[in-house]
Structure 1
């Protein structure tokens, strides 16, 4: 079983991440048993089937897919994954902020793909609360990354007041 970081702790991942291989079709790909994290295309093609399975189902968004595609379904989704194809691709940060701020999503937002420990603090500030690190990375070292900064200056999802307002209060 894979280990992820959730709420700043290393935990076992209950979800199976479903990906579409070359030639796989969203409407015919085999669905493994148990909790699933499926690509947006599979969710859109098989939503009724996925919801009737009786197991947890989440959706993951590719870098070019925005949260507006699942806005109406967020209440039914316990987890939304956001895929980072490369660590330098920052679109996922905006996706997490939109999910939290515009759509008031309260479920788990999980960073997937090329996720490195030095990104975790900023990802958490944008609304991520779970992280599937890039394969081969040290989870224990990554958990320690959350303690790098104690008092961020800027306002963000995790702290809506900037430091100068917190100090004035």
Structure 2
């Protein structure tokens, strides 16, 4: 069951929440991160804020999501997975790869909602983010937005190593090396 709550709207820090890139196109963002809250259908809260809302048993029509920061412990998030519609994995800077591990672990734990990359999302990381289960991207970088808008998505269709998502059926990957019998 996805949790919903009455959460007061914070002061917006930007005039609008960036569109979300999913399924090959930019779509309106239906979730806002708490610091950028503009009254969207859903609200993404940091772990401490989410816990406070869930413990308060406030109910409304607003869907809740988690802002999964690099320093958050996976074990603390695990019990909340069934109550979340979206998990926004934060990539605060290009060189911080902890979000990749978080996303892969969410998939392996059975999270069925949307996993969204937020923060410093760059074009060359998107193929790797998809491999670990991220399906939506809040892209603020102008170059990345332009490339994706032009259909210049660098994601390959063939992979040698398995990712976090289910792989094609056996025998359909002719490029995979097999040991001789």
Q: Which category describes the TM-score, using the shorter chain as reference length?
A: 0.7 to 0.9
1:100 is the counterpart of 2:107 = yes
- 1:24 maps to none
Aligned ranges for residues 1-169 of structure 1 at < 5 Å?
A: 1=16, 2-19=18-35, 32=39, 34-49=41-56, 52-101=59-108, 103-142=109-148, 144-160=151-167, 166-167=173-174
| TM-aligned CA deviation for residue 166 of structure 1 | 2.4
Compared CA separation, residues 49 and 13, structure 1 to 2 (3 A): farther
| TM-aligned CA deviation for residue 133 of structure 1 | 1.2
SS in 1 for 2:21: strand
SS in 1 for 2:173: helix
| TM-aligned CA deviation for residue 106 of structure 1 | 1.1
Query: Greater helix share, 1 or 2?
Result: 1
Give the structure with higher Rg (CA). Answer: 2
Moved more, 53-62 or 141-150: 141-150
| TM-aligned CA deviation for residue 163 of structure 1 | 9.3
Compared CA separation, residues 50 and 135, structure 1 to 2 (3 A): farther
SS in 1 for 2:142: coil
| TM-aligned CA deviation for residue 151 of structure 1 | 0.9
| TM-aligned CA deviation for residue 73 of structure 1 | 1.6
| TM-aligned CA deviation for residue 60 of structure 1 | 0.8
Unaligned 5+ segments in structure 1 are 21-29
| TM-aligned CA deviation for residue 134 of structure 1 | 2.7
Residue-pair matches, total: 159
Unaligned 5+ segments in structure 2 are 1-15
Compared CA separation, residues 39 and 156, structure 1 to 2 (3 A): same
TM-score, normalisation: structure 2: 0.75
